[in-house]
Amino acid sequence: MASTVVDVKPLVILPTYNEAENIVEVLERIAQALPQVEVLVVDDGSPDGTADLAEAWGAEHGGRVSLLRRGAKAGLGSAYRAGFAYGLANSYDALIEMDSDLQHDPAALPSLVNAVESGADLAIGSRYVPGGHIPDWPRHREWLSRGGNRYAAAVLRLQVRDATAGFRCYAAPMLSRIPLDLVIADGYGFQIEMAYNIARRGGRIVEVPITFSDRERGTSKMSSRIVFEALVLVTWWAVRDRILRRPLPADAS
Ligand SMILES: Nc1nc2c(ncn2[C@@H]2O[C@H](COP(=O)(O)OP(=O)(O)OP(=O)(O)O)[C@@H](O)[C@H]2O)c(=O)[nH]1
Ligand SMILES: [Mg+2]
């Protein structure tokens, strides 16, 4: 594992919806992996009190946890867009996406941040590069995920093995160029859309191997609608950019 000494000022963004069973352990393990790191929890009014648990943990442990409390469940993509806007407005250099259900091992945080420190515009915690693993998935689920990734990479000409992965670190200068109000996808499609936006702007994308475990506590919020959304949007982006040849929208100002 790479050094935990980091030069950039990173922000870990945790979207939460009913993660009361996981959030405290997530925050503890983040603090072990990157002791001084600041965290933003974007909670969509979780009825199980996730936001209060996160806030109380932060108050007891040095006040490095901020809360963005939103009224109602608005989706993963929307939560990250709000988190990115907060991080950029508050001058963080590296913005990290991470699930709050322990499927993403916080111990991998230093390697993602170090990749950005070494010049990557986007570092993706990848299951599909050598050293990456998904120990708990049945074969059909892995095939679906690999197949979706191959399809997206082929039609979008994206040189990324795991574009749907949601454990990532963005360099702020590149993230700030993306017009987030034009980013529309919600789940897996959101991850592809962000990687595609960076690749189209000539950004350097690096994949760092990770182990992606199964969720042990709490329930999944993903659905077949999210998979369908990604499939339709990827196909549309390919048609829009390869056949209709619409120009790349201007960078955000
Ligand atoms: N703020 C917010 N967070 C969400 C929303 N939907 C999901 N999340 C969070 O996003 C993260 C990923 O959601 P999951 O449901 O675990 O999705 P997944 O890991 O792709 O799917 P599984 O492998 O089935 O768990 C978790 O931390 C969720 O709590 C939402 O609408 N709003
Ligand atoms: Mg999950």
- Any atom of ligand 1 within 6 Å of the Cβ of 103: yes
* Nearest alpha carbon to residue 86 among 124, 123, 43, 50: 43
- Any atom of ligand 1 within 6 Å of the Cβ of 41: no
Q: Whose CA is nearest to atom 32 of ligand 1?
A: 75
- Any atom of ligand 1 within 6 Å of the Cβ of 12: no
Residue 144 main-chain phi, psi, to 5 deg: -60, -45
Q: Whose CA is nearest to atom 12 of ligand 1?
A: 99
Task: Judge whether residue 78 has pLDDT over 70.
Answer: yes
pLDDT in tens, 98-137: 999 999 999 999 999 999 999 999 999 999 999 999 999 9
pLDDT in tens, 229-243: 999 999 999 999 999
pLDDT in tens, 8-18: 999 999 999 99
Which atom of ligand 1 is the closest one to the Cα of 215? 25
Distance 251 CA to ligand 2 centre (A): 31
DSSP 174: H
What is the pLDDT, as a whole number, of residue 2?
Answer: 44
Share of the chain above pLDDT 70, in %: 98
What is the pLDDT, as a whole number, of residue 3?
Answer: 43
Q: Whole-angstrom Cα distance, residue 29 to residue 26?
A: 5
6 and 38 Cβ atoms separated by less than 8 Å: no
Q: Whole-angstrom Cα distance, residue 102 to residue 234?
A: 28
pLDDT band at 223 (very low <50, low <70, confident <90, very high): confident
DSSP lists the bridge partners of residue 67 as: 41
Ligand 1, pocket-test mutation among 17, 21, 70, most atoms within 8 A of CB: 17
Give alpha helix (H) positions in the chain.
23-33, 50-60, 76-89, 109-117, 139-156, 172-175, 188-200, 224-238
pTM: 0.96
Average of pLDDT values for 166-191? Answer: 97
Domains in the chain (CATH in brackets) are 10-243 (3.90.550.10)
Which atom of ligand 1 is the closest one to the Cα of 101? 27
